[in-house]
Amino acid sequence: MNIQPLGNRVVVDREEAQATTAGGIVLPDTAKDKPQKGKVVAVGDGTTSKDGTKKPLTVKVGDTVIFTSYAGDEFKLDGDQKVLLMREDDILAVVEG
């Protein structure tokens, strides 16, 4: 399934949660923290200013981003793939390198 966000929205593929701690303890699903990092897979066309011009988003497809743990809404695509749909404002930073 292809998903194309509108306006200032971004689709992010969240990283997998860690299954074990640094000490080697295996965590059950209920104890895993939701990762606050992911990869941008689609972006909207930007916001429209008062004079009618489009302002493109600052993030682009392929960027690795950091966001708050409660940012966006989770959607299930084909199979078991889950993605987050969020506003660009919910993104805190782009990870370089």
What is the domain-level CATH number for residue 57? 2.30.33.40
pLDDT in tens, 11-58: 999 877 556 666 766 656 555 456 689 999 999 999 888 898 989 999
State the pLDDT at residue 59.
94
State the pLDDT at residue 8.
93
State the pLDDT at residue 30.
58
Residue 84 inside a domain? The answer is yes
Domain containing residue 52: 9-15+32-95
State the pLDDT at residue 89.
92
Radius of gyration of the chain (CA): 15
Residue 20 inside a domain? The answer is no
State the pLDDT at residue 78.
79
Give 5-27 as a DSSP string: --TTEEEEEEPPPPSB-TT-PBP
Residue 79 inside a domain? The answer is yes
Q: What is the mean pLDDT of the chain?
A: 83
State the pLDDT at residue 48.
86
Number of domains in the chain: 1
Instruction: Enter the pTM of the model.
Output: 0.77
Residue 68 inside a domain? The answer is yes
> pLDDT over 90 for what percent of the chain?
44
Residue 43 inside a domain? The answer is yes
Name the pairing type of β-strands 47-48 and 37-43. unpaired
